[in-house]
Structure 1
Amino acid sequence: MSKHNVDQMPALDRIRRPEGGLTLGIELPLDNDWAPERETQRVREGRPFGIPDLTHYPDLIRQVDRSGFAAVWMRDVPVFDPRNFGDAGSVYDPFVNLGFLAGITENVALGTAAVVLPLRHPMMVAKAAASVDRLSGGRLILGVASGDRPVEYPLLGLDYESRGEAFRDAVDYLRDAWKDGGLPVGNGRIEPDLDLLPKPLQAQIPMVIAGQGRQSPEWIAANMQGRFVYPNGAEKLTTQAREWRSLRKALGLPAGAFISAFHLDLADNPNEQVTPRRFGARTGRKAFIDHLHTLEDAGIDHLALLLRPSRRPLGEVIDELARDVLPVLKPQSSPVKAAAE
């Protein structure tokens, strides 16, 4: 069991700052197999493209946790489809992985980006998520999605085209299942003599949506506590963040969290200029810090860094980010202050 307790900050407050500013997280898997030298090594080892080398995964996770990052994020890719999707994702089942991470971390929020809700019965998702929240001391952020890989649905005998409706139904089920007073049994009915245990440690496990989930912007603003959008340029992210907050404000709701990602190849020369790549860049530390300040000004709350393109050893990259990048972002509130707010 984590040393954290209910008096410490809610999971969403680990990735956002009441006074504004940006926090950084790490997106799994923790490998750098997209670097040219590592690709050569992969071929030599006979590993298929897209399957990460997770040899040093536990040690790197512990390093991230003690280094001041706000969160770690994992994907939900049930089936490796090398022909249509050459990336195996985070590999491990997300809820098994979350349980493992709850046991070896103490500080980071544990986020999914994102669990494909229509592929799982919502009762089992509700129980697994509440279990993780308890075991981690209230650090779960449940990112959810409707899925974008058509091959997965027929394998489970599910209809791909109706995934939007199934997604909405699952969200409603989760919220009902986490309440006291009975078990949801369908069609809005509650069975009072049954219950689902455990209940989450957080008053409400925050849900953030990755993509659109085949939902309207208005539904997303009303039902999600955050948005996790694909990596984009600062201008588009600014527009998306502004629209998200405007919709939340119109509904009389708190701002929530606006999250994106960045594929980072951090050069060892801090003065190296930016070389763009899909969803990110190769860049030296100084230009990267400038970009982060731009995102702070744009109203982005949290940026998940994918380090797979890194040419340097990941431990070295994590150290530099912790030592020279995190301290120049706007300072984080103390856990006591954040929880009080």
Structure 2
Amino acid sequence: MAYLSAMLKISALDLIRKPDRLTLGIELPLDNDWSPAGEARRVAAGRPRGVPDLSAQTDLVRRADALGFAAVWMRDVPVFDAVNMGDAGSVYDVFTLLGYFAGLTRNVALGTAAVVLPIRHPLMTAKAVASVDALSGGRLILGVASGDRPVEYPLLGLDFEARGLAFREAVAYLRQAWQPGGLPINGERIPNLDLLPRPAQQMIPMVVAGQARQDDAWLGTNMDGRFVYPGSVEKMTLQAARWHEATSGHGAFISAFHLDLLDDADAAAESIRFGARVGRKGLITHLNALAAAGVDHLAINLRQSGRPPAEIIEELASEVMPALVSNPKAQAA
């Protein structure tokens, strides 16, 4: 059973996991730099390849919040490795950005995909996470990972090969630090030391991105959800079934989708990296198939979109999300 579901009646996971439908979120950064038009603008602006255009992001996040999107997701990329990775992620420190959007939004869950736990001291992570959760009124979903960028570990004097053990230790520390009764030192809780602010949620949900060098049994016991790379409906069906078995059906199953939504609503789907170029009707069909496969939430990435992200957000809210209310999975149940 997932850790959180045994303890809480209400959590930020309730914002993205609905019994009757798949929910949609937005993955930052909110630009379309990976489209031909976006690449031309980047070159004209003199921005390095991999550094996103964030000029409209704040307004777009506000609009997504108002339109009923379930979540906004942001990545943890401490160092821009232009040669080996070529992607600066969301640019800003992930906890600073979370706090900023906590004050600008009212409804969406704020998710990380994902904070690399072993490269931070767990006490400082616990305080930053608790602060965001308190400031947002309990809307934080903490996506966590062990990290796949080896350059970060030597920069911090840390052992890349030990990241699996460090991940488990960090998870255990966070669970204790968010509860009253003292902070742990060398495995012993010191009752006169406390962590402030207290999170708004009794226990902040943790969602694992990738495997984090753990087996399914450990993840199913200690994680409240799973965030996987985009894949086919067939692949998602198998992954979701495995995860639901590991968590006795209590763990949320989340993925992402790179979308280039075409003007022609009837346009057939064409595969692109991590997603599809497709018209609205084909997208709705695909999303309902993912729901039937066991996917609870999908983070939409618009970086490959030929149309402006603002247009896509409006169309998703007005035309696509209402069509997802009748979830085949719920109907079958």
TM-score, normalization by structure 2: 0.94
Residues 70, 109 of structure 2: 8 Å contact kept = yes
Q: How does 1:218-237 map to 2 (within 5 A)?
A: 218-237=217-236
Q: CA deviation at 1:163?
A: 0.3
| Per-residue deviation, residues 129-182 of structure 1 (Å, max 9, x unmatched) | 111111000000000000000000000000000000000000000000001010
Aligned position for 2:267: 272
How many residue pairs align between the two structures? 320
SS at match of 1:214: coil
Once residues 123 and 254 of structure 2 are traced to their aligned partners in structure 1, the CA distance between those partners, rounded to angstroms, is 27
Mapped to 2, the partners of 1:184 and 1:310 lie a distance apart of 47
Question: Is residue 161 of structure 2 the alignment partner of residue 161 of structure 1?
Answer: yes
Aligned ranges 1:132-281 → 2 under 5 Å: 132-186=132-186, 188-249=187-248, 255-281=250-276
1:262 counterpart SS class: strand
What amino acid maps onto 2:65 in structure 1?
A: D
Given residue 250 of structure 2, which amino acid in structure 1 is its aligned partner? A
* 3-state DSSP of counterpart to 1:110: strand
Q: 1:1-341 counterparts in 2 under 5 A?
A: 10-17=11-18, 19-186=19-186, 188-249=187-248, 255-330=250-325
Instruction: Kindly provide the CA deviation profile for residues 7-37 of structure 1, in whole angstroms up to 9, marking residues without a partner as x.
Output: x9521000001x3421000000011101101
The AA in structure 2 aligned to 1:30 is: L
- Maintained 8 Å contact 2:220/2:251: no
Within 2, Cα distance between the matches of 1:289 and 1:119? 39
1: distance between equivalents of 2:198 and 2:174?
A: 11
Cα pair 2:20 2:326 within 8 Å, conserved: no
Once residues 10 and 311 of structure 2 are traced to their aligned partners in structure 1, the CA distance between those partners, rounded to angstroms, is 29
CA RMSD between the two structures: 1.4
- Which residue identity does 2:196 align to in structure 1? L
Structure 1 Cα separation of the partners of residues 117 and 167 of structure 2:
6
Task: Deviation per CA, 1:71-127: give whole Å up to 9, x if none.
Answer: 000000000001100111111111000000000000000000000000100000100
Give a deviation string over 1:281-329, Cα, whole Å, max 9, x none. 1111010000001011111000000000111111111000000001111
State the partner residue of 1:336: none
User: Any idea what SS the aligned residue of 2:76 has?
Assistant: coil
Deviation beyond 2 Å, 4+ runs, structure 1? none
For 1:99, what is the secondary structure of its paired residue?
helix
| Maintained 8 Å contact 2:260/2:278 | yes
Is the contact made by 1:271 and 1:286 (CA closer than 8 Å) also made in structure 2? yes
Report the identity percentage. 64
Letter in 2 for 1:144: V
For the residue of structure 1 that corresponds to 2:217, the secondary structure is helix
Identify if the C-alpha distance between structure 1 residues 244 and 114 changes in structure 2 by more than 3 Å, giving closer, same or farther: same
SS of 2:245 mapped into structure 1? helix
Give the TM-score normalised by structure 1: 0.92
Deviation at 1:262, TM superposition (A): 0.3
* Structure 2 segments unaligned to the other structure (5+ residues): 1-8, 328-333
SS at match of 2:307: coil
- Separation of aligned partners in 2, 1:95 and 1:157: 22
Measure, in 1, the Cα distance between the counterparts of 2:326 and 2:205.
23
Residue type of the alignment partner of 2:81? D
CA distance in 1, matches of 2:97, 2:154: 25
How far the C-alpha of 1:40 sits from its partner, in A, is: 1.1
Q: Which residue of 1 aligns with 2:331?
A: none
Distance in 2, Cα, partners of 1:104 & 1:153: 33
